[in-house]
Amino acid sequence: MIYRIAFVFLLLFTGCSDYPIYKEKKESLQNIHCLNIIALEDSDIQMAKKYLNNFEFSETCKFKFEIKPHLIHKCSNPKVKSLGSDFDGYVLIKLSKNNKLYFRSQVDFKGDEYAPHLKKLLIDFIEELH
């Protein structure tokens, strides 16, 4: 009985977590010294440069670091709008070289503000380097 109660509490607390819900590390992240940051918003690029300050940033670097936020309410698909959702969007970061995936992490969120979630993904990425 005590195990069931503990399990329920564990589910409740982990269900409210906004840490990455999906993380995939395919290749070693060692020996990566530069990044080509690709994002639609300049503020996302600036945030990435702030937290990933151990890297050199160059558009000619072969390591592409992509930042892709997606807000569901901006989606024009009527099926998506009619069904609703448990979350309002997601933000994805992805590291690749020559179309080969090295790392990917994504988190869902509620609300319109994804910047705090991007920050957590960037910090999580830094921790993966060690």
Domain positions in the chain: 20-128
Contact, 54 vs 74, CB < 8 A?
no
| Domain covering 20-128, topology | Double Stranded RNA Binding Domain (3.30.160)
SS3 of residue 105 by DSSP: strand
Give the type of residue at 78.
Answer: P
Q: How much is the pLDDT for 2? A: 56
On the question of pLDDT at 106 being above 70, the answer is: yes
pLDDT digits (tens, 9 = 90+) for 3-27: 444 444 444 444 444 555 788 888 8
CA 52 and chain centroid, separation: 14
Q: How much is the pLDDT for 47? A: 97
How much is the pTM? Answer: 0.75
What is the average pLDDT value for the chain, to the nearest integer? 80
Q: How much is the pLDDT for 20? A: 55
Instruction: Give the separation between CA 56 and CA 36, rounded to whole angstroms.
Output: 9
- Give the DSSP H or E segment for 14: helix 2-15
